[in-house]
Structure formats: structure tokens, C-alpha cells
């Protein structure tokens, strides 16, 4: 009887044990299915504790750190500081001395002071933070165009000199001497009043100016016939020179002043070009 009773008791206990385990398994399956399919966009680590056992379930696709959004935010911040665009437009003047030696307007090249302009466009590809948001250095690449309006004067190249001749033409459509440069700017930007006006920026920039090409563009009308004369040459301008500029920018718009720091023209060593106008920094 004891043996028979023991066998019956063991059988009932085994059935009871498996029944409980089956309920637990079904409940666990439903729980996992609901959370892993209904909220499949999240990669979670699930920890369950059943009596004295601890179950740790890790999703197989969990390869991303749950705090990885911080890394994304850092990457966005870095990208915001690693790319900037600047464009400037202003009037172009010629000076017989460098600016730090005083102003002395030059008449060695006949040009119109009003219609002569300087335009440049720069992309800053690399930025270096020196002091958080207060002091930064930008390095980039760009292009620049210096346009001298020669009015009614034609230009010719003779040996080692430039010859300008006055023409008696009533209708001159265009008469410009254009110099195109590739530029490599080194920009130092800082916030002078960090506590009061964070939108005010001061910038000191040095640019390597590499002469790309020069071209005169002379178009006029005579006897109802349109004529065009073009000369492609460097016009005795230096293949390379260094320029410096100072900018005051408030809310991305400001003013600038720029001048060459090294020799600009080979036949007029003391000749200097300077420009001033508006600048936009994005």
C-alpha cells in the first residue's frame, strides 16, 4: 500500500509540476511576443525573477547602445561646427601704399572707383574650437573675383608694360579687367561680449590668393554693329599673394575690410588693392 500510494502521489505531483511550468511558459511566451513584436523598434534587455531563479533575456538584434542618441547628438554638434559658408561683396579700390602706410588713391591704372568691385565665396571645411563657443578657427577654400571697370580705356600688353588707350566710342557696353583667384582662407572668429551679445562676432582672416586667370572684356557698339575684344592674361599681377581682412558680423550679416599684405602687382610693387562692403556668414 505504501508503494502504491507513493506511486500515485508521485504521479500527481509530476502532473502538477508540469502544469505549473506549462502555465508559466505560456505566460512568458505571451509576454515576450507582445513586447518583442508590438514594440519591435526598441531593443530591450528583459530581466525576470521567478522564485529563486533569475532569467535574463537579451534581444538578438540588440547591437545598439540604449544611450547611443547621445553620440548622435555629439555628431550633429560636430557637424554644425565643421561647415560654414561665407560670401562678401564690396567696392574695389587701388592704393599706392599699403593700408598701414596710409591712403593714397592710385591713378596708375585708369578705372572707375564706383563700378569696380570685389566678390568672394568661401566654404570652411574644417573648424577647431579653442574655447568652447567663444573662439574658433576655420580653414577652407574659395574663389574671388576682382573687377576693375576701365570705362573707355582699352588695355594692351607690350613687352613688360601695360598700355591703356582712350577710345572715342559713344556706346561702350562693357569694359572690365577681371582677375579670378582661388583662395585658401584661415579664419579666426571670436565672441567679444560673451555675456551680453552672443550674436556679435569679430573675425580676422588671412587668405592665400592664387591667381587662376585674368581676362579683359571689352564690348562696344559702333555703326550699329556689336564688337567684342577679349584678352586672357595675368596682366603682370602676382601669381600668389597674401591678403588680410577684418569682419564685424551681427546675426550672420556684417561688414568687412580687406587688403593685400604682400606684393600684388609685379610692375607696380607698391600698388595695393583694398575693398570694403557687406559680408554674410551662414
Is 90 exceeded by the pLDDT of residue 171? no
- Shared domain for 263 and 135, answered yes or no, is yes
Q: Decide if 68 is inside a domain.
A: no
Q: Decide if 240 is inside a domain.
A: yes
Q: Decide if 215 is inside a domain.
A: yes
pLDDT, tens digit (0-9, with 9 covering 90-100), for 202-212: 999 999 999 99
- Shared domain for 113 and 229, answered yes or no, is yes
- Shared domain for 138 and 269, answered yes or no, is yes
CA distance 241 to 234: 13
Which of 30, 58, 86 is where one domain is finished?
A: 58
Q: Decide if 233 is inside a domain.
A: yes
- Shared domain for 40 and 95, answered yes or no, is no
Q: Decide if 96 is inside a domain.
A: yes
CA distance 92 to 87: 15
Q: Decide if 67 is inside a domain.
A: no
Is 50 exceeded by the pLDDT of residue 2? no
- Shared domain for 50 and 87, answered yes or no, is no
Q: What is the pLDDT of residue 279?
A: 97
- Shared domain for 136 and 227, answered yes or no, is yes
- Shared domain for 162 and 29, answered yes or no, is no
% residues pLDDT > 90 (the chain): 39
CA distances 123 to 53, 58, 218, Å, are 62, 47, 32
- Shared domain for 83 and 54, answered yes or no, is no
C-alpha cell at 158: 607690350
pLDDT, tens digit (0-9, with 9 covering 90-100), for 63-114: 545 455 455 554 444 444 456 899 999 999 998 876 666 666 787 888 988 8
Domain range enclosing 264? 74-281
- Shared domain for 34 and 169, answered yes or no, is no
CB neighbours of residue 215 within 10 Å: 15
CA distance 115 to 1: 121
pLDDT band (50, 70, 90) for residue 242: very high
Q: How many domains does the chain have?
A: 2
Which of 58, 86, 106 is where one domain is finished?
A: 58
- Shared domain for 96 and 49, answered yes or no, is no
In this prediction, residues 134-141 reach a mean pLDDT of 92
Q: For cell 570705362, name the residue.
A: 151
Q: Decide if 19 is inside a domain.
A: yes
- Shared domain for 131 and 250, answered yes or no, is yes
Report yes or no: 221 and 148 within 8 Å, Cβ to Cβ.
no
CA distance 280 to 87: 5
In this prediction, residues 5-29 reach a mean pLDDT of 52
Q: Decide if 231 is inside a domain.
A: yes
- Shared domain for 89 and 183, answered yes or no, is yes
Is 80 exceeded by the pLDDT of residue 272? yes
pTM (predicted TM-score): 0.69
Amino acid at each position: 500500500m505504501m508503494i502504491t500510494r507513493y506511486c500515485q502521489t508521485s504521479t500527481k505531483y509530476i502532473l502538477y509540476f508540469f502544469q505549473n511550468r506549462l502555465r508559466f511558459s505560456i505566460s512568458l511566451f505571451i509576454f515576450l511576443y507582445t513586447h518583442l513584436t508590438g514594440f519591435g523598434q526598441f531593443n530591450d534587455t528583459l530581466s525576470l525573477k521567478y522564485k529563486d531563479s533569475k532569467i535574463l533575456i537579451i534581444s538578438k538584434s540588440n547591437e545598439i547602445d540604449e544611450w547611443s542618441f547621445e553620440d548622435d547628438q555629439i555628431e550633429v554638434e560636430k557637424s554644425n561646427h565643421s561647415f560654414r559658408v561665407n560670401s562678401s561683396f564690396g567696392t574695389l579700390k587701388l592704393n599706392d601704399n599699403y593700408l598701414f602706410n596710409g591712403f593714397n588713391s592710385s591713378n596708375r591704372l585708369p578705372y572707375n572707383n564706383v563700378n569696380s568691385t570685389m566678390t568672394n565665396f568661401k566654404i570652411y571645411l574644417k573648424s577647431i574650437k579653442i574655447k568652447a563657443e567663444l573662439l574658433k578657427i576655420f580653414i577652407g577654400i574659395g574663389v574671388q573675383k576682382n573687377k576693375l571697370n576701365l570705362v573707355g580705356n582699352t588695355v594692351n600688353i607690350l613687352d613688360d608694360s601695360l598700355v591703356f588707350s582712350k577710345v572715342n566710342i559713344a556706346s561702350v557696353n562693357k569694359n572690365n579687367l577681371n582677375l579670378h583667384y582661388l583662395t585658401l582662407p584661415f579664419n579666426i572668429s571670436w565672441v567679444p561680449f560673451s555675456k551680453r551679445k552672443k550674436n556679435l562676432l569679430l573675425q580676422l582672416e588671412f587668405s592665400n590668393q592664387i591667381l587662376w586667370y585674368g581676362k579683359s572684356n571689352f564690348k562696344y557698339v559702333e555703326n550699329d554693329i556689336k564688337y567684342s575684344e577679349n584678352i586672357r592674361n595675368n596682366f603682370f599681377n602676382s601669381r600668389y599673394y597674401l591678403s588680410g581682412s577684418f569682419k564685424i558680423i551681427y546675426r550672420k550679416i556684417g561688414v568687412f575690410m580687406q587688403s593685400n599684405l604682400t606684393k600684388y602687382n609685379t610692375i607696380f610693387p607698391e600698388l595695393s588693392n583694398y575693398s570694403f562692403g557687406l559680408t554674410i556668414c551662414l
